[in-house]
Structure 1
């Protein structure tokens, strides 16, 4: 049984109450809540980059990743004075813009961070993401699938980064110049998805219903939309290995790594070595492909 401990932390001038630091949140990985908060603190410069100024949904696991969980859209009461809110459609979302807010959420056992695709006050996408979602729980072809889509984008002169979802999938992340609409990006997504389904009919599908997909990998170009969310780059995930959604070099994708390799035990050393790989991709101009699609 976990030892109950309680204390306070002074973070950015704010006093945080920290509870149950010895509680195991990922038992197989040996990660306690205290460990988690320490790792979140180190991850914060990278995770906050993709969560600040957005509407945040979290998933809370009060007793660990393999126990009962719930989605949290409305900011949990009581809300500390330093936490900024981002109202939208009657929901008081959290704006995850500071280390103190991140550790407050971490202490509440928020193990996953899913920001909106658009910034607060905007209806335009902040980036473009193509979600590649395996139908099978174990899918050894997922990196092959990501590599194929990356090559198609490259042939269209669009630079991109593959990132593990932290679960079973991979997402293709494309930083974009501001001004494009969700409708425009969905049009390009449909074009690319339809093309690879035609060329690789035994690998890909755009069938929305999982029961009709067989063993094919779903290209979810529809997920990228106003009001929807996706796992943030560098968010931990509620999986046995404490996996983390991690951007990859394309030469790594070619080696077909397992998404489990990228986790709370390994990600910080990786960030020291490579930094944020997404930040190295210039904002992409999509005018040429949009003109081609009419």
Structure 2
């Protein structure tokens, strides 16, 4: 369909222009922009929960995942009246609030959503996330690594939720109470990271430079900080199979599921069946451990 063909939809009272709905965005998965917007609407109750009121960075692929891409931090100009923004460090971020903004971004071929780890106007983290980042493009041990970290957290009295990054890694989410700082979480993150690297030096490393990691999985406790981002739960990813960053049951981690198992074409059925696994875990007493660290 020529790029000049367009239409509009009305969502929550807002009119959104849709251009080139039959453009392939994930060609290998057969996902056009039209299909993407439908799937994005189905994901919205879950994805918005972890993007709302945060500073949003998106990755846009105007010609689909096989074309060029760019990170967008500054909100584009002109903006629809319904899109809210907030300025931090001289950047005018979009603050994603509802389905109209989400579909407007989807029409702009924003295929990945990376929110700040704090709310707009706040310097405190919303949750604690540990990022397990493989050094290999295909890492068959990633679920073993996640299970190892999960057991260490459990031994500290902390419940957690693993989620696929939607790419090659896994993040582990620990809900927290308001008031814990990013520096507090770096301190406990370093403590847990040192422990697992000493326990399993064959599997983990704290080495930041990828060229020095060999085949080990990087236990990244530094990415969780003010001004940084991680892939939101339920964000699609610009990977050939249209994978989605998906929270998991620990039983699924033990079964060694693959991050490729969860994608735009099956995520809706999973969410209808299982709901949001993150909301079932209450804030954890990380303060008790932080207070005992040197």
Count of residues in correspondence between the two structures: 293
In structure 1, how many angstroms separate the alpha carbons of the residues matched to 2:2 and 2:280? 43
Shift of residue 287 of structure 1?
A: 2.1
**Matching residue of 1:118:** 118
Residue 212 (str. 1) matches residue 212 (str. 2):
yes
In structure 1, how many angstroms separate the alpha carbons of the residues matched to 2:155 and 2:291? 16
Moved over 4 A (4+): none
In structure 1, how many angstroms separate the alpha carbons of the residues matched to 2:22 and 2:66? 17
**Matching residue of 2:153:** 153
- Superposed CA offset, 1:115-162 (max 9, x none): 000001110001000000000000000000000000000000001000
In structure 2, how many angstroms separate the alpha carbons of the residues matched to 1:90 and 1:183? 23
Shift of residue 66 of structure 1?
A: 2.0
> Partner of 2:133: helix, strand, or coil?
strand
Contiguous gaps of at least 5 residues in structure 1: none
**Matching residue of 2:273:** 273
Contiguous gaps of at least 5 residues in structure 2: none
In structure 2, how many angstroms separate the alpha carbons of the residues matched to 1:76 and 1:287? 40
In structure 2, how many angstroms separate the alpha carbons of the residues matched to 1:110 and 1:129? 23
Tell me, yes or no, if the aligned pair for 1:3 and 1:22 is still in contact at 8 Å: no
> In angstroms, what is the RMSD of aligned CA positions?
0.8
> Partner of 1:192: helix, strand, or coil?
helix
**Matching residue of 1:63:** 63
> Partner of 1:195: helix, strand, or coil?
helix
Tell me, yes or no, if the aligned pair for 1:56 and 1:96 is still in contact at 8 Å: yes
Residue 168 (str. 1) matches residue 168 (str. 2):
yes
**Matching residue of 2:284:** 284
> Partner of 1:129: helix, strand, or coil?
strand
Shift of residue 285 of structure 1?
A: 1.6
**Matching residue of 2:184:** 184
- Superposed CA offset, 1:175-214 (max 9, x none): 1111000000000000000001001011100001100000
In structure 2, how many angstroms separate the alpha carbons of the residues matched to 1:20 and 1:231? 27
Tell me, yes or no, if the aligned pair for 1:54 and 1:86 is still in contact at 8 Å: no
Tell me, yes or no, if the aligned pair for 1:128 and 1:224 is still in contact at 8 Å: yes
In structure 2, how many angstroms separate the alpha carbons of the residues matched to 1:81 and 1:284? 39
